[in-house]
Amino acid sequence: MPVSACAPAKKRGDQGFALLIVLWMLVLTSFLVALIAASGRTELRITGNLVVNGEAAAAADGAINQAIFNVMDPRPELRWALDGSVHELTIGDCVVETRLMDEAARVNPNLASPELLEALLRAVGRDPESARQLVSAIDEWIGNTASPRPKDLVLADYRQSGRDYAPPGAPLVSLDELADIVGMTPATLAAVRPHLSLFAPAQPNPARADPVVAKALETIARAGAAASPLTGPSSDNRTVRIAVVAHGPSNAVVMRTAIVKLGPAQAGGYAIVAWDAEAN
């Protein structure tokens, strides 16, 4: 009798345990299905973002090529002016804002005279003495000083400012290098950088200069420091900055900048010499 009485209870216990396992399996399966579905939706969103961003990037590149075509138009009256005005283009599903600027309007720290660099630094807020010292440090960095200081003195100055290197004595290959020069502060670099270009000539084009560069040019002109008349480049040999902002579907935004040399010296009449970060 005891054995037969316990058998149904044991059977009911086994059935309850089996039901619990089934319920847990259903919960786990539901969780896995939800996880896979969420992952799939995320992947779809990522894929969609990649598609619209790729479309906007292609439109930006297309706008740069169209700008090159327009600025090279043999009919002067149809050429786009290098005045920074916005040209709105529709490419596919994207609207692209395109601006062209004369790179000769900027100051080239590798080629500009010390007087021009000092005037530019003063125009962005440096006092005369600190501007003069910073110009000396820039010239020392690029090896453009007539009376170089002994290397141990230069190295001592850099070590005193927490740097473990000395100036390379070679032209800048990127404007980012300016941040490494002793005396250059982040605030000064942020203020002066929009007016600099390693692709500009030694003498800026006053007809295209922005107010800051124009002020620097006026300063050295009043001081009689201009080495030669400030004239713009030949229309056959120009360097153009093309900046575009492409607005694509789903609020996609792509910004591109290209520096383009134009003229008979370039194969096909033009050459893109820098993109994006290298252009700034």
Domain ranges of the chain: 1-108+197-210+229-280, 114-184
The H or E element that residue 42 is part of is: helix 2-71
Whole-angstrom CA distances from 108 to 76, 100, 103, 151, 204 are 28, 19, 10, 26, 8
Mean of all residue pLDDT scores within the chain: 86
The H or E element that residue 245 is part of is: strand 238-247
Whole-angstrom CA distances from 169 to 85, 94, 103, 145 are 39, 46, 25, 9
Whole-angstrom CA distances from 150 to 140, 170, 213 are 11, 16, 33
List of the chain residues with pLDDT < 50: 1, 3, 226-235
Predicted local distance difference test score (pLDDT) of residue 277: 77
Predicted local distance difference test score (pLDDT) of residue 40: 61
Predicted local distance difference test score (pLDDT) of residue 268: 87
Distance CA 128, CA 122 (A): 6
Predicted local distance difference test score (pLDDT) of residue 271: 94
Predicted local distance difference test score (pLDDT) of residue 70: 93
Q: In the chain, how long is the greatest CA-to-CA distance?
A: 124
In one-letter notation, the amino acid at residue 212 is V
**Residue whose tokens read 């600190």:** 130
Residue 87 pairs in a beta bridge with: 98
Predicted local distance difference test score (pLDDT) of residue 109: 97
Distance CA 156, CA 196 (A): 29
Distance CA 226, CA 221 (A): 6
Distance CA 40, CA 45 (A): 9
Residue 267 CB-half CA count within 13 A: 2
Distance CA 166, CA 152 (A): 9
Predicted local distance difference test score (pLDDT) of residue 15: 62
Predicted local distance difference test score (pLDDT) of residue 228: 43
Predicted local distance difference test score (pLDDT) of residue 231: 46
Predicted local distance difference test score (pLDDT) of residue 131: 97
Predicted local distance difference test score (pLDDT) of residue 29: 74
The phi and psi torsions of 12 (rounded to 5 degrees) equal -65, -35
Q: Which two tokens stand for residue 206?
A: 């006053």
Distance CA 41, CA 37 (A): 6
Phi and psi based region of residue 268 (left: phi greater than 0; alpha: psi -120 to 50; beta: remaining)? left
Question: Which DSSP symbol is given to 28?
Answer: H
Predicted local distance difference test score (pLDDT) of residue 175: 96
- Rounded to two decimals, the pTM is 0.77
